[in-house]
Structure 1
Amino acid sequence: MKRLLAVLLAVALLAAAGGAGGYYYWQSRLDAPLSIETPTLYKVPSGAGFNRVVNDLATQGVISDAWAFRLLTRLAPDEVPSIRVGEYQLLPDMHGRDLLAVFENNEVVTYNLTPEGWTFRQMRAQLAASAKLEQRTRGLSDAEVMTLLGREGEHPEGRFFPDTYRYHLGMSDMDILRQSLAKMDRVLEQVWAERQDELPLESPYEALIMASLIERETGAPEERRQIAGVFKRRLERGMRLQTDPTVIYGMGERYDGRITYADLREATPYNTYVIDALPPTPIAMPGLASLEAAVDPLPGDTLYFVAKGDGTHQFSRTLREHNNAVNRYIRNRDN
């Protein structure tokens, strides 16, 4: 009997030792370095689960022991990451545990898109050129896009906030548009709530239109409130705004880089040399600084401005001063 117990104990000890050895061997294979020599971009396709990704990595030679990772699903399911669609950067100094952490932390490779000052047409073109984005709006009209966004009947120009948007493989152009639309709603509401008293603007939408004119008129931060002040005083006096960017917007794709005298006289809905007050919609995507300037114009007595050719403008109080500035900065420059 004693001999039998000794044999059984020996067998149990051997089994335990073998089990411990097997466990530590399994863990060592999970900790093994990846079999890559250069940074590698790995793409997780839509619908791929953990085992499929493991098999794919093994096929590509990134990992050597696929069985060690598959065993996680049986012995340690809590350690199996939920893998997100996207691209993952794998580095030569990474180990199997690092790979699991990258998936667990959703460390997808991201890209940036910054549509500052763009028109909606330009934004759509940039989205369409972003190869990593799923294209859900290709072939749709602007009106159809707005309907998909839940804004049926709204004109899209100016409705999207120009910010830096981060995206990754697996996202769509609609995801960016939804983010941008929602942010403009929030920013415009906040800016309108902080507006000056007695503005010649009757709604947040008119402030959005005004901001788009400022956005297209200048890139000089110090001038935005000055230009807003000129527009405010002209509106208050019943003067036409006479701003060239509205002429350009009204010309559409016909614009070739120059505005002629005939263009200034053309009766488009946007030509502020012809129409009174503001154009019917924004003409661009204004940023925060232009939105804030639109509702907080700088006090003063200037009514005119002309581009100096260096990115800034000469402001004038009278038509005579303005004509002199035009002769100095425009006509002399063209001669």
Structure 2
Amino acid sequence: MDNQFQWELWKRLTEAPGVSGFEEPVRAIMREYIESCTEEIVMDRLGSIFGVMRGDEKGPRIMAAGHLDEVGFMVTGISEKGFLSFQPVGGWWGQVLLAQRVRVITPAGAVEGVISSIPPHVLSDDQRNRPMDVRNMYIDIGADSGEEARKAGIRPGQQIVPVCPLTPMLNPRRVMAKAWDNRYGCSLAVELAKELKERPDHPNVVYVGATVQEEVAGMRGAKTAAELINPDLFFALDASPAGDIPGVRDGSGKLGGGVLMRLYDPSYIMPTNLRDFLISICEEENIPYQIYIGKGGTDAKVVQYHGIGVPSAVIGIPSRYIHSHAAIIDRDDYEAAKRLLIAAVRKLDKSTYESILPR
């Protein structure tokens, strides 16, 4: 990959463990990169982290955020034979779990494991024809007893993460990793901070970083971060499920099709003036974009309600197989999102912001 900075950033972010509520390893990486761009760091009490990039103090206050957390699991018990029971954290479909590798993150280090699966040779016809309930799955860490598991440092309440290293694919534009949802947004936030450090003449004040606990009910970090920042405008930086795979009939979002212009999801409608502003940038700058109708939500669901209302947009990309062990993105989509975010921030002076507000 030509951009070594970007590849190292992606590798560190995607391979770090950071299930909802356990974001500290990812936050430490984000802090390192953001502190190289600004000495002004702010955090809420749940752990969302932002760097402050001060341009024109008379301009709007912009919040641009990915989210630190990924979907994963939590240890809930240890059997006498050393098998682990677990609780999914975030939205999982049980049929993507069987026989997948995981890591249990303990104070003494990571412990390798695999989610239980029964070989087809010993399944009854009834078992073959119905899905296994997640509640009946367990994690095998190769222990002979519960005591051996506890001696390794395993305790209830610890995070468990999928295993999938950052991997280039046959088409070199396609990259596979765990947690593109949403280390994509974390990476984009870092690149925005880097851009604003190198060219600090932006007509606004930008809070750039990432929230915690987006993948669980309530999108908790977005709420507390908005209280901290009190933004005038919000850009959620998030990956969405691609609809270009076999078996998806009504999906939108094609890998290689450009940045996603999310017009609607069940918790959010893009403000029309903000939509027109972003589309005009794409057309002026020849940035490929694709219309996206979402079925899930993002941090925009929460931030738009802050105070008397915060105009919000999602600058996203499609990702195949999110909320599974291995997801795939297209580098061209990432670059399109990056170009749109940077151009939007640079154009958002006081008068442009006011033109976006309802009239």
TM-score (norm 1): 0.25
TM-score (norm 2): 0.24
